[in-house]
């Protein structure tokens, strides 16, 4: 085979060596992956516009002109505006009382300070808009939207030479974004950590690839090893996007309790649950998800109210490092995350295994 199977159109679009994208909240992970020849997108949906600008500058200082991305969430279904206090006041008494009963049953401590989740761009459209403005001002090379269509921002981004990537869980969503000229589409399956739809990765990726034409498709959801990478390319993707494995990498600033838990967890330790944010999401099981899954639990609230309700529990657990209560987004690929490797090693191991897989399948490569 004359062609390098890992050199795809996504590599050309981004100027990268390997078609591997790390989704991470940790700047050190992002920089390590970018400087090792992959690509990274930093999740900034929880950050203030000022913090986003500072993080963009920090990354720029360390990647020697290479491209990088920032991910926000832009759900259309949340209120246009409203302070956290106003939104909190709209939470019905039944759900509030149930949350209080969980707090009491598990002795969940109060957060030590202001709740970080109250910055989440998914709480109202005004917050997300302010975050977006920074990305446009800074001309961030790649803007990704993890929730909600970024179609409305395409023209403004393209005028600034920025690329826009959309993340979808259904072929119909991909179709709409492709119609308006999205630059790449992340087809994310049910295995994935974080907000995700109900269609499996093996089903969604080839469906989106079939309608994407020349637009690169990026496979996400459980894509964790080199074998997964090779399979994703065979399904029609031009690259992969993963999250869980970088969370457990050595550079990751995730709490060591979470990292150790990821290393020890299997897919069965994760749950597909709408109880954290009101939208379906894959996370590590914890008392909050298990209590809300009980038949006697009240209805889960829609976004953003359930997120406001869970944020007190989550931050109380995190601030006090209560291992028995803590949770984090985790995908089913967590079975393959067994050692805490440096991020560049995660990347190189994936590349090496993918090449070995192709060789095993089709014979020696150039
Ligand atoms: C801790 C964590 C938080 C995440 N938060 C977001 C987010 O804010 N925005 C987003 O687009 N995706 C988010 N994701 C999902 C990733 O973008 C990615 O689609 C997912 O991790 C892929 O599945 P994998 O974990 O099996 O690799 C998150 C993933 C993890 C592990």
Above 90 in pLDDT, residue 150?
no
Residue of the nearest CA to atom 26 in ligand 1?
222
Question: How far is CA 170 from its chain centroid?
Answer: 16
- Asked whether 286 lines ligand 1 (CB < 6 A), one says no
Above 60 in pLDDT, residue 349?
yes
Whole-number Å distance between alpha carbons of 292 and 298: 8
Above 80 in pLDDT, residue 20?
yes
Between residues 1 and 64, the one the model is more confident about: 64
Angle formed at CA 31 by CA 27 and CA 32, multiple of 5 degrees? 115
Number of domains in the chain: 1
Cα(366) to ligand 1 centroid in Å equals: 34
- Asked whether 193 lines ligand 1 (CB < 6 A), one says yes
- Asked whether 328 lines ligand 1 (CB < 6 A), one says yes
Averaged pLDDT for residues 186-201? 97
What pLDDT digit, counting tens, does each position of 304-337 carry? 899 999 999 999 999 999 999 999 999 999 999 9
Q: What is the pLDDT of residue 84?
A: 81
Q: What is the pLDDT of residue 1?
A: 46
What CATH number does residue 347 fall under? 3.20.20.70
Q: Is residue 313 part of a domain?
A: yes
State the pLDDT confidence band at 177, using cuts at 50, 70 and 90: very high
Contact call for residues 170 and 148 (beta carbons, < 8 A): no
- Asked whether 247 lines ligand 1 (CB < 6 A), one says yes
209-235 as b/e, with b when 16 or more CB fall inside 10 Å? beebeebbbbbbbbbbbbbbbbbbbeb
Q: Is residue 2 part of a domain?
A: no
- Asked whether 189 lines ligand 1 (CB < 6 A), one says no
Q: What is the pLDDT of residue 365?
A: 63
Question: How far is CA 365 from its chain centroid?
Answer: 33
Mutating to test ligand 1, I would choose from 33, 194, 272, 347 the residue with most ligand atoms within 8 A of its C-beta, which is 194
Q: Is residue 68 part of a domain?
A: yes
Between residues 364 and 36, the one the model is more confident about: 36
Above 60 in pLDDT, residue 144?
yes
Report the run of H or E that residue 218 belongs to, with start and end.
strand 217-220
DSSP characters over 103-168: HHHTTPPPPSSS-GGGG-TTS-HHHHHHHHHHHHHHT-SEEEEEES--GGGHHHHHHTT-EEEEEE
What's the pTM value of the predicted model, to 2 decimals? 0.96
Q: Is residue 331 part of a domain?
A: yes
Q: Which domain does 55 fall in, by range?
A: 9-358
Contact call for residues 333 and 189 (beta carbons, < 8 A): no
Q: Is residue 363 part of a domain?
A: no
Cα(61) to ligand 1 centroid in Å equals: 25
Q: What is the pLDDT of residue 2?
A: 52
What pLDDT digit, counting tens, does each position of 80-120 carry? 777 788 888 999 999 999 999 999 999 999 999 888 776 67
Helix (H, G, I), strand (E, B) or coil at 39: strand
Q: Which of 70-79, 183-192, 285-294 has the lowest mean pLDDT?
A: 70-79
Q: Is residue 236 part of a domain?
A: yes
Enter the DSSP assignment of 23.
E
Whole-number Å distance between alpha carbons of 245 and 326: 18
Q: Is residue 3 part of a domain?
A: no
Cα(3) to ligand 1 centroid in Å equals: 31
Pairing of strands 194-195, 281-284: antiparallel
State the pLDDT confidence band at 366, using cuts at 50, 70 and 90: low
What pLDDT digit, counting tens, does each position of 213-230 carry? 999 999 999 999 999 999
Cα(114) to ligand 1 centroid in Å equals: 24
Contact call for residues 82 and 125 (beta carbons, < 8 A): no
Q: Is residue 305 part of a domain?
A: yes
Report the mean per-residue pLDDT for the chain: 94
């Amino acid at each position: 085979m004359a062609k390098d199977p890992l050199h795809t159109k996504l590599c050309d679009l981004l100027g990268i060596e390997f078609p591997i994208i790390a989704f991470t909240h940790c700047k050190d992970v992002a920089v390590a992956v970018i400087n090792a020849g992959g690509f990274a997108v930093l999740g900034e949906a929880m950050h203030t516009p000022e913090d986003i600008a500072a993080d963009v500058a920090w990354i720029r200082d360390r990647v020697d002109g290479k491209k990088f991305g920032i991910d926000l969430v832009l759900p259309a279904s949340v209120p246009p505006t409203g302070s956290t206090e106003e939104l909190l006041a709209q939470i019905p008494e039944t759900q509030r009382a149930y949350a209080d009963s969980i707090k009491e049953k598990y002795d969940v401590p109060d957060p030590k300070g202001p709740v970080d989740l109250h910055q989440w761009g998914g709480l109202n459209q005004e917050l997300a808009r302010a975050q977006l403005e920074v990305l446009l001002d800074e001309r961030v090379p790649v803007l990704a939207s993890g929730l909600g269509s970024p179609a409305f921002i395409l023209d403004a981004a393209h005028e600034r030479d920025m690329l826009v990537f959309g993340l979808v869980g259904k072929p119909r969503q991909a179709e709409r974004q492709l119609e308006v000229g999205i630059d790449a589409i992340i087809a994310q399956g049910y295995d994935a950590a974080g907000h995700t739809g109900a269609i499996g990765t093996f089903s969604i990726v080839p469906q989106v690839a079939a309608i994407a034409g020349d637009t690169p498709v990026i496979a996400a959801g459980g894509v964790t090893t080199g074998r997964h990478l090779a399979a994703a390319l065979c399904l029609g993707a031009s690259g992969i996007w993963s999250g869980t494995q970088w969370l457990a990498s050595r550079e990751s600033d995730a709490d060591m309790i979470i990292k150790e838990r990821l290393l020890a967890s299997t897919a069965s330790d994760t749950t597909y649950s709408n109880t954290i944010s009101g939208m379906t999401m894959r996370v590590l099981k914890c008392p909050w998800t298990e209590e809300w899954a009980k038949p006697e639990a009240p209805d889960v609230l829609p976004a953003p109210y359930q997120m406001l309700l869970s944020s007190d529990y989550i931050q109380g657990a995190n601030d006090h490092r209560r291992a028995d209560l803590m949770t984090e987004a985790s995908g089913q690929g967590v079975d393959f995350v067994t050692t805490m490797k440096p991020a560049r090693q995660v990347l190189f191991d994936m590349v090496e295994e993918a090449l070995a897989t192709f060789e095993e399948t089709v014979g020696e490569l150039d």
